[in-house]
Structure 1
């Protein structure tokens, strides 16, 4: 650490140092630091010449110093060795070798991220997952490198993106068609119920609370507004269809390509067919997603036939959060002077007009239950009025 000019290394490095060094047996374990490894891996990543050159340059720097080689082995073991509790690590805060690698320092976490490809290929083969899904999933590498370079001016990734790429290389995330999916336990403090006869769906704020023969709570409209009056749902008429602890597919929207509605539908259908085979012991209830694309205000500032609006309207929105994540995705960053925001696309122009009027952008979370998927587009939001009228019905 002294040689690398890294002061106050994370405690997890100190605690695991001896066990990590004990895992090293021979140079074959350093396969991921060879240029040949990246050349073979690039059959999956499909990086252009400039991005590949950044990998080769960074690898040459690492191979030229024993301290960097040891440092790379430490990171790889902590992230990918069996029984390593990586979820407990604050990888985003780990210091990178900036003094030793200079402008190439951000390539260091990326080299570690992609080091698990041999295991990943075997994992896909063992689970019967097609290579086409592997190719699609790993196409994120080039996309993420581009995003990071726009923010920082150099090739590589920021550490918080290493947290994200672990999902790809540990077999936790798959891109199926236009969308990415991750299995996730539903951990939100809402519960969702369906009327046994009308099939109407309603979300209540808070976890299941039984009062006599009733579920009771504050209803949430499909556009994410929590109503101020509680309702009581009879156990004889309503059933719980989504509660805390249920398994869902967490949806992520990778960059690259248009968000065409037909492609979304195709991706959902494929995911619903594939995931029960990949995880036969888990019963998935539906899709969940939290994104700036679910800001309800987008329905007002974008055209009715916008693919983004149609994507949003298929979900029941249950939580709205004020944040600026839209700027990172649509504009790369949020400038101090909002008048300088670019206006290259219709989406950029619409959002810029909106924020310049003094209004706040938001993100939102929503769900789409498998049982409601075939009920047609905008199923939940078409029933917006029904949810609000439920207050009177249940009085």
Structure 2
């Protein structure tokens, strides 16, 4: 068994042998492709620091694991340390994700097979153990970029929350593989929790463009139809109301009067709402302003245009089934909604899972009761995407959805 001071751990030298020992069939192509590079990077047991109990113990002030969660780590680590094949697989994963032998964002980590034969019910701890192995680098990265320890503590508080949610869904400690990609954002220094919200850079890649009138400063989103071929001074598209409804009418905008303020390829700050606490609307403005001041310093080569968010909390129907003063409703109303899709993700967040019989949904909170009544009436829950441009951040609450008015009112001037 691997001990913290041991110096002679032998990694499995053959990729095919490793896969056979772990009973993993059809491994991802990137595993085999980067195998030799990963083995060549291994110089000794000091690089396996993340497989020691001491590492988790010393990292725990950041992770905030209770006794039961810590015990789950220690149990899984003991199992891994006792098998050279599991040690080798852990090293391979760490190299792929953190040693820059190839771009990790190109991997579909959610499809990576777990060593279930070797680890049994503990297998879901494997991706979590590798995910948190990058803490030493992350701490140095925060120092280099001038980020405070308090932001690091807040950002990594997700670990315990995610473990709790996965256990509710699966019945065992660890994380589902789709959450590995999410945690990479934390441990590769892309996502930060600033105040109540989390933020990370994201390219705006939809064919929906946003224009601002040069005089009135009003904003409109268009499901883009492109520049008019006979006149480059105009653009055309179907208007989208601030509540996400695409109007069945093609309009054209004069580019002498309207300027593009958000187009495909622009960089936005993707907003996420971490769980584990009440969404207090009064705290959101501080998060927005702090993020606006922080991110241009962290990513000086990128020009951020605003905030973007895609969540079940943006279902416009929530404005009808929740009170006017609901924190969730006020949060939604600050964004210009531009895309709505049918989506059951609300069930995982609000109810843990979606049962076959919706009548069995719990009714412990007012939100649960409202949503349950809504779906039992035969209606579909949805999610939506919305934007909040930096230039409109100081325009006051509900600027797009309330103060600016419906897009339909502007159509008359275009007829």
- The answer on 1:168 being equivalent to 2:200 is no
Distance 1:225 1:383, change over 3 A: farther
Partner of 1:378: 398
Residue 8 of structure 1, CA deviation: 2.0
**Which is worse superposed, 96-105 or 134-143?**
96-105
For residue 287 of structure 2, the aligned residue among 257, 267, 276 is: 267
TM-score (norm 1): 0.98
Residue 361 of structure 1, CA deviation: 0.5
Distance 2:185 2:198 in 1: 11
Partner of 2:305: 285
Partner of 2:163: 145
Partner of 2:362: 342
For residue 152 of structure 2, the aligned residue among 134, 153, 160 is: 134
- The answer on 1:294 being equivalent to 2:314 is yes
Partner SS, residue 34 of structure 2:
helix
Distance 1:81 1:356, change over 3 A: same
Residue 384 of structure 1, CA deviation: 6.1
For residue 265 of structure 2, the aligned residue among 237, 242, 245 is: 245
Distance 1:312 1:371 in 2: 18
**Residue pair 2:223, 2:240 contacting (<8 A) in 1 also:** yes
Distance 2:405 2:291 in 1: 31
Partner SS, residue 201 of structure 2:
strand
Residue 209 of structure 1, CA deviation: 2.4
**Residue pair 1:322, 1:360 contacting (<8 A) in 2 also:** yes
**Residue pair 1:292, 1:363 contacting (<8 A) in 2 also:** yes
Distance 1:209 1:267 in 2: 37
Partner of 1:209: 227
Partner of 1:353: 373
Residue 208 of structure 1, CA deviation: 4.7
Partner of 1:80: 98
Partner of 2:216: 198
TM-score (norm 2): 0.93
1:292-331 Cα offsets, whole Å, 9 max, x none, are 0000000000000000000000000000000101101101
Distance 2:281 2:50 in 1: 39
**Which is worse superposed, 228-237 or 49-58?**
228-237
**Residue pair 2:241, 2:406 contacting (<8 A) in 1 also:** no
Partner of 2:124: 106
Partner of 1:393: 413
Partner SS, residue 323 of structure 2:
coil
Residue 234 of structure 1, CA deviation: 1.3
1:83-98 → structure 2 map (5 Å cutoff): 83-98=101-116
1:53-95 Cα offsets, whole Å, 9 max, x none, are 1101110110011111111101111111124221221111111
**Residue pair 1:209, 1:217 contacting (<8 A) in 2 also:** no
**Residue pair 2:96, 2:102 contacting (<8 A) in 1 also:** yes
1:15-30 → structure 2 map (5 Å cutoff): 15-30=33-48
1:186-238 Cα offsets, whole Å, 9 max, x none, are 11110000111111100000265245221211100000000111111112211
Residue 385 of structure 1, CA deviation: 4.1
Q: Which runs of 5+ in 2 are unaligned?
A: 1-18
Partner SS, residue 3 of structure 1:
helix
Partner SS, residue 156 of structure 1:
coil
Residue 98 of structure 1, CA deviation: 1.2
**Residue pair 1:208, 1:243 contacting (<8 A) in 2 also:** no
> 4+ runs of 1 displaced by more than 6 Å?
none
Task: Tell me how many residue pairs correspond in the alignment.
Answer: 395
**Residue pair 1:342, 1:348 contacting (<8 A) in 2 also:** yes
**Which is worse superposed, 170-179 or 74-83?**
74-83
For residue 64 of structure 1, the aligned residue among 66, 82, 100 is: 82
Partner SS, residue 370 of structure 2:
helix
Partner SS, residue 22 of structure 2:
coil
- The answer on 1:256 being equivalent to 2:276 is yes
**Residue pair 1:207, 1:243 contacting (<8 A) in 2 also:** no
Distance 2:332 2:238 in 1: 23
**Which is worse superposed, 201-210 or 178-187?**
201-210
